Amino acid sequence: MDSESSNVAFALIGHQDSWQKISGFVNLLRNTSQEAEIEKQKIAEVYSYFPPCAIFDIDVRSITGITAKGKYIETFISPDELTLKHWKNNISKVKQAADCASNLQAGIATLGGFTSIVLEGRVDMLNGNSKTCFTTGNTLTAAFIVKAIEKACKHFNKELKDQNILIIGSTGDIGSACVKYFSAKVNTLLLCARQQNLLYQQQKELLENNISAKESADVTTLLPEADIIIAIASSIIENFDPALCKKDVIICDAGYPKNLIDNLSEDLNERLFCGGMGIVNGGYDFTPSFHHQLYNFPIPNIGHGCLLEAVVLSFENKNIAYSTGKGNISPEKIEQMYDMAQKHGIREAPFFNTLRVWD
């Protein structure tokens, strides 16, 4: 694959969120038609020792008729190690994956899922002397979240201006982008994050600009007031109590790993969608095909916004660090990135949870 590196328009740096997926692609890499499959337990014992590397090619098609060629780089970060306890090792893995993207001479590389959280606000650590530009992909992720929220309000006949929006993880990069976007469009912003001092400052700035806002590090105090919930925390929200939610609440689970999907009642699941996801209307292909091992969405051509940002930028011939730092995503940047994505037929994913497709 390295001999084709000059044709690499983009690189996607990511990780897997389940041992089932990992077992599938590890055994496919080993060519299991010739050898017996390795058991999941055996894979788990050695998985985190694998060095990051490119494992498949990706061709993504724009509705304008152009095709961008890229590589997917697996970090081999274990699903069991997506925590602060393993931060140092995870940073090392992300840096190794970035070196792989640079060696492939990719024009633009993006950090997918937890890898962007690991280095949130510190993407400059990856640049060095590399000609590859790195982006967190957070702007397109935020764009898909806010546009899907607006769409969900129309779907459920809710006026956005009358809604109280709870943003869990409001002081993070994507969370603060959502705060800025909705600050003049909703009734009240309900802010929740771990660090009380950052929450207080965020609320203070909003109130100074005559924006109605409430803050609390305890999500249970805010849940009863929320008409819309956006969960963007970097870990499972342990004290999220569905019984405190309004019956007609709209929920966007935009966290990675998933914050809420496994914790909700059947009734609330009907009003929950996976935020930050996009659909590629032009389609895409993997070579070799890992689709059956890695793809688990109810409709074709779905992808994570953080990964798709690099694709959009490569379509536009913009090898720039579009999403960097922390708190730099403005409503204007969201609209600009969203318009670029729309131009190439990449838009917010049209489904609630994994059960119902919407229009």
Of the three residues 270, 294, 315, the one that is the final residue of a domain is 270
Same domain (yes/no): 30, 68? yes
pLDDT > 80? residue 334: yes
- Total of domains in the chain: 2
Give residue 343's domain range: 2-139+277-348
pTM over 0.95: no
Q: Where is pLDDT greater, at 87 or 13?
A: 13
| pLDDT > 90 fraction of the chain, expressed in percent and rounded | 55
3-class secondary structure, 190: strand
Confidence of residue 4 (pLDDT cuts 50, 70, 90): very low
Q: Is the pLDDT of residue 291 over 80?
A: no
* Nearest one of 253, 298, 286 to 28, comparing CA atoms: 286
Predicted local confidence at residue 191, as pLDDT: 97
Packing angle of the helix pair 173-182, 138-155 (nearest 10 deg): 40
Contact residues for 88 (Cβ-Cβ < 8 A; gap 6+): none
**CATH (domain of 198):** 3.40.50.720
Asked, for residue 150, whether it belongs to a domain, the answer is: no
**Boundary-marking domain end, from 270, 297, 315:** 270
Identify the three-state secondary structure at position 244: helix
Residues 19 and 135 in one domain: yes
Alpha helical stretches, state H, 35-172: 40-46, 87-103, 114-118, 124-127, 138-155
What is the average pLDDT across 345-357?
72
pLDDT digits (tens, 9 = 90+) for 99-136: 999 999 999 999 887 777 666 656 666 655 678 999 99
**What would the mean pLDDT of 159-186 be, rounded to a whole number?**
96
Q: Are 281 and 246 in the same domain?
A: no
**Residue 146 counted as domain residue:** no
Whether residues 82 and 29 share a domain: the answer is yes
Total length of the chain? 359
Q: Nearest to residue 115, comparing CAs of 296, 257, 318?
A: 257
Q: Say if residue 246 is in the same domain as residue 290.
A: no
DSSP symbols for 73-90: EE----GGG-SGGGHHHH
